Chain A
Amino acid sequence: MFDLDPHLLARIQFASNVTFHILFPSLSIALAWFLLFFKSRFMATGAQFWMNAYQFWVKVFALSFALGVVSGITMSFQFGTNWPGFMNTVGNVAGPLLAYEVLTAFFLEATMLGIMLYGRGRVSERIHTLATLLVALGTTGSAFWILALNSWMQTPAGFVMIDGQAHVTNWLEVIFNPSFPYKMTHMLLASGLTGAFMVAGISAYRWLKDDRSEEVVATLRSGVWVAAILIPLQIIAGDAHGLNTLEHQPAKLAAMEGIWETQREVPAVLFAIPDEKTQSNHFEIAIPKLASLYLTHTWDGEVKGLKELGRDHPPVAAVFFAFRLMVGVGLLMLFVSWSAAFMFWRNTALKEWVIKAVYGMTFSGWLALVAGWYVTEVGRQPWLVFGLLRTDDAASLITSGNIELTLVTYLLLYLVLFTSFVTVVFHLAKKAIHPGVNHA
């Protein structure tokens, strides 16, 4: 088909699978907690509209969960087939972490999901709520183990190398490695925002379609408030994470900021086109000294540039633009969620332009999440495990013909499934509309 390097194909295949996969767990984690909230409100107030909200969103949750499971199973095979060098080198670290994910979280959520979806009427309401809680804990627990491994790949700790293999000396240092708290917080907040904007956005869609039921207003309000509370926290967490990256992975940070020269009074580059050949930015628009302020918290702090950090730096443009996309979406989130929250807080009539803006942000969480994920994962290159194992040395040598074939198949499948998910969510929303009931 194409004359492409099998390493590259294996990487594209894995990257596309991870990208597809990450959309759904990140949504499921937040939705599970939203569902627990809706169910608890129903239990506390007895108001049927909370149960309606639960029953609508549990359908979206089930879809998202199923898509996460099937793409996750694919990944559990691809770890071995696409990255044999990974397990050979750091298997003693990665293996137990993955094992604990399956043992403590995956089984729990998958089993309790059955009771959560179909058990109402067969178990008491309390047990049903408990099952919902356990599913939420399971999804969050999965994230814990996976992020422990992922952050360890960014900032490995707690091990020694013997004969080219990592052997663990301290499990607590492995799990709570230097970047773990930042990554875990940043990711969970990102998940929360993804879920909050999805809940608010789909509710806004129904509201715009003339569904003014208590259910829609309640879920719209819940989504908006959660988003409005989480987004400033996320900006703080993101800043802290950036400082952590500056300390441990200066090349990633320099690429994010588009900084080539080591300098004091570093300007914040708003826009530029980074050029790796000339090692400079074209069409740069920057604010003087600002980057020094937010990176070192002084006006004249020094930040190392890519030139000084040597050849082992990530592809600059990809990281640079992905970072700007993430931050841009984040600022939009702040603006839209606060506008809407202000409207709810002042208890004014719901303004149509605000609701439209919320609707427009339905999938904004996914956009920011994937962009942020690319910043951190592409930013780690050329390393698979930072400073320890190069991506090239871990990739597989499966013949490229087989990879091409499976890559095309997977890509088509993901495209169909993603489109189906979005279509079906809107179909469900349309079906659930109770037009003309005005409680707002």
Chain B
Amino acid sequence: MPELAIDLTQPMGWLPIIFAGVMALAILAYVILDGFDLGVGILLRLGHDRGQKDQMIATIGPFWDANETWLVLGVGVLLVAFPKAHGVILGALYLPVALMLVGLTLRGVSFDFRVKARPEHRKNWDHAFYAGSLIASWAQGYMLGQLITGFQSSLANVAFGLLIGVFLIYAYRLLGAGWLIIKSVGDLQLRAVQWAKDSLWLTAAGVLAISIATPWVSPRIFHKWFSFPNVIMLMPIPMVTIVLFLVIARSLHRLPSRLALDNEYGAWIPFAATVGVFLLSFYGLGYSLFPWLVIDQLTIWQAASAPEALMVIFYGVLVVFPCIVAYTVYAYRVFLGKSSALEY
């Protein structure tokens, strides 16, 4: 077992843990932040008319660029800190990664083109925006499925990946709808409540599928969860997740009548609780995988770069990371509240 030889007092021992943490944070930030704007992209097709679609896009306009940067940081840390894992993982995921990149490209550029192109081309860019969001989300879900099942290309594993892809589309859709409930008013807001309702149970099914599949794939992960006393210590994770789903369901049930009276009380609950579900699922997944980057094949220590290179980046992260968080929070504060028409 490689874990036995790790000396956590040495940079070689603790630096990989730090970087695994930074990578996890970046991916988590990406999934939640780009998750809601991919979700809005997936929902765009359902917008009632051009004005409503513009309104939907306006809720994500100032953010998507920076949101996508978290993906670059996540994959960047994988590349820079764990080059061996980067090769194995992205080699195994070559096609879904390419598909995701095409999706993200379409989404990213249509966002700008749709308002600037000739009127007769606008519809095409709307379609491209929707298709790009859908493709990128699905590809990410497929990759997640492959990661959990250890990159096997057996039929069952591919099918599992396909399914997780569909579930992730609904999870992002739920997140996006929650975001729209916070940022919009009137008809769009009411529609968003309905869209969230439509996405809720498939999202739950996705979380369930992953929770069942992960321990089943590796006896080691099974042991981590179900041995005594772990099983009791870990119980709160699934319990709280279930409670959060119920909270979302109840909130979505009550919101329409409140919103009809211009009462915004609790409008943030669906989004916040969905973020909670993402956090817990992510935590659970991290707990299952750690310290493996490729399940039962490659640990963070085996894959790490030379400690001196990591140390140089570590100093940079220490100084710069708080700044990034600070100005990101500032940017979100600037656009706090209901979104206004998007023009420049």
List CB contacts (< 8 Å) of B288-344 with chain A: 305-306, 308-309, 312-313, 316-317, 320-321, 324, 327-328, 331, 334-335, 340, 342, 344
List CB contacts (< 8 Å) of A110-127 with chain B: 110-115, 117-123
**Bound: A413/B98 CA distance, A:** 12
**CB atoms of B331 and A114 under 8 A apart:** yes
**CB atoms of A95 and B81 under 8 A apart:** yes
Chain A residue, CB-CB nearest to B76? A102
In the complex, what residues of A have CB within 8 A of residue B109's CB?
A: 63, 66-67, 70, 417, 420
**Bound: A405/B109 CA distance, A:** 22
In the complex, what residues of A have CB within 8 A of residue B13's CB?
A: none
List CB contacts (< 8 Å) of A54-84 with chain B: 55, 58-59, 62-63, 65-67, 69-74, 76-77, 79-81, 84
**Bound: A99/B94 CA distance, A:** 22
A11 within 8 Å of B by Cβ? Answer: no
In the complex, what residues of B have CB within 8 A of residue A114's CB?
A: 61-63, 65-66, 331, 334-335
Given contacts A70-B104, A108-B327, A413-B105, is CB(A76)–CB(B72) below 8 Å? yes
A106 within 8 Å of B by Cβ? Answer: yes
**CB atoms of A111 and B108 under 8 A apart:** no
Contact among B86, B112, B334 for A122, CB-based, below 8 A: B334
In the complex, what residues of B have CB within 8 A of residue A123's CB?
A: 334
In the complex, what residues of A have CB within 8 A of residue B102's CB?
A: 409-410, 413
In the complex, what residues of B have CB within 8 A of residue A71's CB?
A: 105
Chain A residue, CB-CB nearest to B65? A110
B90 within 8 Å of A by Cβ? Answer: yes
**CB atoms of A92 and B79 under 8 A apart:** no
Cβ contacts A394-427/B at 8 Å (1 or 0 each):
0010100010011001100100010010011001
**CB atoms of A103 and B316 under 8 A apart:** yes
A171 within 8 Å of B by Cβ? Answer: yes
For A, the interface residue count at a CB cutoff of 8 angstroms equals 68
Identify the interface centre among A59, A79, A167, A405: most chain B CB within 10 Å of its CB.
Answer: A79
B75 within 8 Å of A by Cβ? Answer: yes
A293 within 8 Å of B by Cβ? Answer: no
Given contacts A115-B62, A123-B334, is CB(A87)–CB(B313) below 8 Å? no
**CB atoms of A79 and B79 under 8 A apart:** yes
Cβ contacts A77-101/B at 8 Å (1 or 0 each):
1011100100110011111101110
**CB atoms of A80 and B65 under 8 A apart:** no
**Bound: A107/B30 CA distance, A:** 13
**CB atoms of A420 and B113 under 8 A apart:** yes
**CB atoms of B80 and A98 under 8 A apart:** yes
B117 within 8 Å of A by Cβ? Answer: yes
- For residue B284, give the distance in angstroms from its CB to the closest CB of chain A: 27
Contact among A92, A112, A121, A406 for B306, CB-based, below 8 A: A92
**CB atoms of B98 and A406 under 8 A apart:** yes
For B, the interface residue count at a CB cutoff of 8 angstroms equals 58
- For residue B92, give the distance in angstroms from its CB to the closest CB of chain A: 10
Given contacts A63-B112, A95-B83, A111-B331, is CB(A420)–CB(B117) below 8 Å? yes
In the complex, what residues of A have CB within 8 A of residue B75's CB?
A: 76-77, 80
**Bound: A114/B68 CA distance, A:** 13
In the complex, what residues of A have CB within 8 A of residue B21's CB?
A: none
Given contacts A73-B72, A123-B334, A427-B116, is CB(A118)–CB(B61) below 8 Å? yes
- For residue B61, give the distance in angstroms from its CB to the closest CB of chain A: 6
Chain B residue, CB-CB nearest to A17? B101
List CB contacts (< 8 Å) of B44-96 with chain A: 61-63, 65-66, 68-69, 71-73, 75-81, 83, 86-87, 90-91, 94-95
A185 within 8 Å of B by Cβ? Answer: no
In the complex, what residues of B have CB within 8 A of residue A65's CB?
A: 65
**CB atoms of A424 and B61 under 8 A apart:** no
**CB atoms of B324 and A103 under 8 A apart:** yes
**CB atoms of A84 and B327 under 8 A apart:** no
A168 within 8 Å of B by Cβ? Answer: yes
**Bound: A424/B117 CA distance, A:** 5
In the complex, what residues of A have CB within 8 A of residue B320's CB?
A: 103-104
Given contacts A118-B62, A413-B102, is CB(A81)–CB(B309) below 8 Å? no
**CB atoms of B94 and A81 under 8 A apart:** yes
In the complex, what residues of A have CB within 8 A of residue B327's CB?
A: 107-108, 111-112
Chain B residue, CB-CB nearest to A428? B116
B111 within 8 Å of A by Cβ? Answer: yes
**Bound: A47/B208 CA distance, A:** 61
In the complex, what residues of B have CB within 8 A of residue A167's CB?
A: 306, 308-309
A339 within 8 Å of B by Cβ? Answer: no
- For residue A270, give the distance in angstroms from its CB to the closest CB of chain B: 41
Contact among A63, A398, A406 for B91, CB-based, below 8 A: A398
**Bound: A349/B65 CA distance, A:** 44
**CB atoms of B344 and A117 under 8 A apart:** yes
Identify the interface centre among A80, A113, A417: most chain B CB within 10 Å of its CB.
Answer: A80
**CB atoms of A70 and B72 under 8 A apart:** no
**CB atoms of A102 and B321 under 8 A apart:** no
**CB atoms of B344 and A81 under 8 A apart:** no
A165 within 8 Å of B by Cβ? Answer: yes
**CB atoms of B116 and A81 under 8 A apart:** no
B97 within 8 Å of A by Cβ? Answer: yes
**CB atoms of B61 and A66 under 8 A apart:** no
List CB contacts (< 8 Å) of B97-142 with chain A: 97-98, 101-102, 104-106, 108-109, 111-113, 116-118
Given contacts A81-B91, A96-B312, is CB(A87)–CB(B72) below 8 Å? no
Given A96-B313, A402-B98, 12 extra CB contacts under 8 A = A62-B344, A63-B112, A70-B108, A70-B109, A84-B87, A84-B91, A93-B309, A102-B69, A103-B316, A103-B320, A103-B321, A107-B324
A residues apposed to B, CB below 8 Å: 55, 58-59, 62-63, 65-67, 69-74, 76-77, 79-81, 84, 87-88, 91-96, 98-100, 102-104, 106-108, 110-115, 117-123, 165, 167-168, 171, 396, 398, 402, 405-406, 409-410, 413, 417, 420, 423-424, 427-428
The 12 listed contacts between A and B (C-beta, < 8 Å) are A66-B108, A73-B105, A76-B79, A77-B90, A95-B83, A100-B313, A103-B317, A114-B61, A167-B306, A398-B91, A402-B95, A420-B113
Listed from nearest, the 4 A-B pairs whose CB atoms lie closest are A114-B62, A95-B80, A92-B309, A70-B105
B residues apposed to A, CB below 8 Å: 61-63, 65-66, 68-69, 71-73, 75-81, 83, 86-87, 90-91, 94-95, 97-98, 101-102, 104-106, 108-109, 111-113, 116-118, 305-306, 308-309, 312-313, 316-317, 320-321, 324, 327-328, 331, 334-335, 340, 342, 344
